[in-house]
A and B are shown apart, each in its own frame.
Chain A
Amino acid sequence: MSVKHVEVFGINEKVAKEILSTALATGGEFAEVYMENQTSESLQMRSGKLASANVSKVKGAALRIIKDDTEVNCSITEYTPENLLQAAKNLATSFDGRCSTELKPFVEKDVELVVNPQKIRGNDNSQELQLLTDTSVAAMSYSEEVVQVIANLTKQEKKIFVFASDGTWQTDHRCNMRLSCQVVASDGQDMQSANNSFGRNQGMEMFEGFDPKQFGHDIAKDAVEMLHADQIQGGEMPVVIHNGFGGVILHEACVHGLEATSVAKGMSVFCGKLGTKVASDIVNAVDDGTNLNAWGSINVDDEGTPSQCNVLIENGILKSYLVDKKNAKKMNHPITGSSRRESYKYQTTSRMTNTYFLNGHSTFDEIIKNTKKGLFAKKMGGGSVNPATGEFNFAVDVAYLIEDGKITKPVKGATLVGSGKDVLLKIDMIADNLACGYGVCGSASGSVPTIVGQPTIRVSSMTVGGKGGNE
């Protein structure tokens, strides 16, 4: 792999062993050091002019010791071997036993690269600026009602190194790059915004074949269309959720409740449900960290476990949770390569990577044609869930009414709410047009890039919120 441990992080096996032995001297069962160097760059263009160009360098380490069910963790900025040794000594005082765990010899696993960023930065920013300009100009020239276009390009390059008492000795090199754009449209009275983004774990080569003009144009079109849309009247109705970012329903309604963070503590509605029916028979869902150069992919997770494809739901039956090293023991469940953290400032835990429903056997046209009256949620916004109760919500950014099997007029202001326990059971049609959206998921261990994806699906009945109507 491309990261050299000693050069970048100043650690060799001898020093690593010394730190870990110190950490385990008082009876700890597991000790681990996570080190990271991160460079983030962000360019923001406002109405076609570059408004900011910022750089941020994050560098630090986290050291943890686990004994029984207790985890003690320490995050420090200056990760010299002396500081790490001192931190190990301090942390070890949390326990008062005698050394009982022997260090396993370090073994670096040979991992097949699924993420391999190339063109991270060139001699200048001209390609980056051109992308932002093309996006902005296309959006601004779409309509006179477009009053503001904010285009962002963010690159987050990260080199990590993890070593642990179980023999882990692993590195990863990632580059999460994302182009996003927000368009504000106004008719002098009302204002409405729309946005979209495109991201990969890759260098600038990700934009080969990408059309920024189309990207900017489409966002402006959504903003203007929603500006003139009527407010939706809320109530219960069938909802057709379109492909791509629509997969946020799986993310919120279900998979947050499959993360060990919730399950191990008995804080999820999906506790004890492995092998039981949690979704209708046509539902298949995976969390796959190995999609080539995908936004949510990783070669190894932040505990050094190689990423893998985890089948979560197969023909409606729950097959797996997402589990990290600490919770694997507690839950008696295999480790799934899902442990992630925003940075060394957070304690690592089980999180999602690329999560999506697999294709079904219907077509998009069949789904619309078979829906007498309902909502077509074309673009979803963000959402949230309380895993303990399973109650979730998410916003719909772009929506239309379905009347007599046809998509009719645009409507705005819809929010969907429901309960994870029953919404997946109400999915009665799935199309064959799987696509992905590029999200940033905020949870216990900070914000991490995740793909939410799905083909178009229909939920037979959902509560739709909206303020239109005339009761």
Chain B
Amino acid sequence: MTFKQIIARGLELGLEAVEIYATTSESNTLKLDEGKLESYNIQNIFGVSIRGLLNGKMGYVYTETLDEEAIEQVLKQLVENVKLINATEEEFIFAGGATYQDVPAIKADYKNHSTSEKIALLKELETSTKAVSDKIVKIGYCQYSENLEKVEIINSKGLDLMREFSYMSAFVGAVAAENDQTVLGISGDINTEFDKIEKERIVQEASSNALDQLGATFVKSGKYPVVLKRDVATDLLSAFSSVFSGDAALRKMTSLTDKVGQKIMGDNITIVDDPFYQDALVKSPFDDEGVPCLTKTVVEKGVFKGLLHNLKTANYFKTTSTGNGFRMGANGAVTTMPTNLYIKEGTFTKDEMISSVEDGIYITEISGLHAGLNPISGDFNVQSSGFLIKNGKLDQPITLFVTSGNFYELMNNVEMIGNDIEKRFINTASPTLKIKSLAISGK
């Protein structure tokens, strides 16, 4: 069936409005192991999410086939399901007719390059990384992939939109070993031009991330001033970005709901959500409901400016959509998510920040964020590794300690902000941050 036919059939079955969200995703992934191609994976996936409105309630179904019998079955199920819903928040389907910012299409050039060039790239990455030091005993991961994502949104109210983007990525995981210790160092690059993939940087970072951690010891428990590497600060911001979500507010899963206009972070903190950020890899003129995206300041000099909304949450909180109605995957319902969320840069270099610390810790890696944080209270406890800082200089590497804190307390205790934000980012970015004090649990 065509999209138009599906919409017409949905209306016939009694739905007041019907919307199609169709995704096409293509990817090719190559993995190398010890000079040989280990795996070549080709994907071509198509899926359609259909949502329908009845009495202000929304039903969702998803299917990967458009044959008539299957569509008839899911549409009927949609109508039955939507009648069961008795939650009171009203839902909407966007009428279209809006004006959208002109965003140039982001298209990767991987089709101009042969498979053998891609294998050659991986071989070069593997060989060069291994050649850095005898202590690098293995390249555990050496992977290249290219992705294309296309989204079409069409509804019975006249909306008819399409967006597409593609990119390629390469990453390396280097294993360094010495005595009884094994360390993994990872680095990668995401790009749209094959020839511009930053090979030297990947090799340098993957190898030094591993080698620098060799000989890591344990740290004594206590409270320390801490410098968070920009990647670590980015991971934390990303993990807590749901606190700004209108959907989380509707579910009572954030403590910020009633704090619009209040001071929630330090004077030096400004957080922006910018769908058109200059160098960002994904730029969206519209969200997954077809509402125009817009640039907004979420936190300005520590003051909370407002939640990120979709049509439903905006109506519930009696405001307008901020164009943040996005889906979690092709078959997910519309929720609220940031576009390109970042902490505004400061003026310090990373070295200046480290040299300001007499006795503290530089954290270079955290893991366990999916489990070790509470987005409601803001508390987090994460496995960490990094370096001691002694008299303003990086000292001994340290590992297997836990960094504990609270996101809001942390954002009130930022003493210095770096000038080193990664400009070519996806979703979230932060510069290096120096924090007055965090609880560290080790030996």
Measured CB to CB, the residues of A under 8 A from B are 46, 49-60, 68-78, 90-91, 94, 125, 129, 147-148, 150, 184, 190-193, 231, 234-236, 265-267, 269, 345, 347, 381-384, 386, 388-395, 412-415, 417-419, 463-469, 471
* Pairs across A and B, CB under 8 Å, 20 listed: A46-B87, A72-B39, A74-B41, A74-B42, A77-B47, A147-B252, A148-B251, A193-B253, A231-B379, A265-B138, A267-B138, A388-B175, A389-B184, A393-B383, A412-B379, A415-B404, A463-B402, A465-B382, A465-B441, A466-B381
Number of A-B contacts (CB under 8 A): 232
- The reply to whether A347 and B39 contact each other, CB–CB distance below 8 Å, is yes
Residues of A within 8 A of B47 (CB): 77
Chain B residues close to A by CB (< 8 Å)? 33, 36-47, 58-65, 70, 74, 77-78, 81-82, 84-89, 138, 140, 173, 175, 182-184, 221-223, 251-253, 255, 331, 333, 367-368, 370-372, 374, 376-377, 379, 381-383, 399-406, 438-443
Q: Which residues of A contact B253 (CB under 8 A)?
A: 148, 184, 193
**A394-B368, A419-B400 are contacts. A50–B84 as well, Cβ < 8 Å?**
yes
- Chain A binding surface SS class: strand
Give the interface centre of A50, A78, A413 by most chain B CB atoms within 10 Å: A413
Asked, given contacts A148-B252, A383-B371, A467-B379, whether A94 binds B40 with beta carbons under 8 Å apart, the answer is yes
Question: Does A386 contact B81, Cβ atoms closer than 8 Å?
Answer: no
How distant is the Cα of A453 from the Cα of B405 in the complex, in angstroms? 30
Q: Known contacts A70-B39, A129-B84; is A415 also within 8 Å of B383 by CB? A: yes
A-B complex: 4 closest residue pairs judged by Cβ atoms? A465-B402, A234-B441, A382-B371, A467-B404
The answer to whether A50 and B85 touch across the interface, beta carbons within 8 angstroms, is: yes
A125 surroundings in chain B (CB, below 8 A): 84
Q: Quick one: given A184-B252, A415-B383, are A68 and B39 in contact (CB under 8 Å)? A: no
Do B379 and A49 touch across chains, with their CB atoms under 8 A apart? no
Question: What 16 new A-B contacts, CB under 8 Å, besides A71-B38, A383-B371?
Answer: A54-B60, A55-B61, A57-B62, A73-B40, A74-B44, A75-B41, A77-B45, A77-B64, A193-B374, A193-B376, A269-B182, A388-B140, A415-B372, A419-B400, A465-B402, A467-B405
Report Cα–Cα, A283/B60, bound state, in Å.
Answer: 48
Contacts of B60 in A (CB 8 A): 52, 54-55
Q: Kindly identify which residue among A69, A75, A347 contacts B45, using a CB–CB cutoff of 8 Å.
A: A75
Which of A184, A234, A465 has the most C-beta atoms of chain B within 10 angstroms of its own C-beta? A465
How far apart sit A186 and B36, CA to CA, in the bound complex (Å)? 56
Q: Which residues of B contact A345 (CB under 8 A)?
A: 43, 45
Residues of B within 8 A of A414 (CB): 381
Known contacts A55-B77, A393-B367, A393-B372; A192/B377 CB under 8 A: yes
A111 vs chain B, min Cβ distance (A): 28
Q: Which of B65, B89, B379, B383 has the most CB of A within 10 A?
A: B383
**Min CB–CB distance A463 → chain B (angstroms):** 6
Asked whether A54 lies within 8 Å of B59 as measured between CB atoms, the reply is: yes
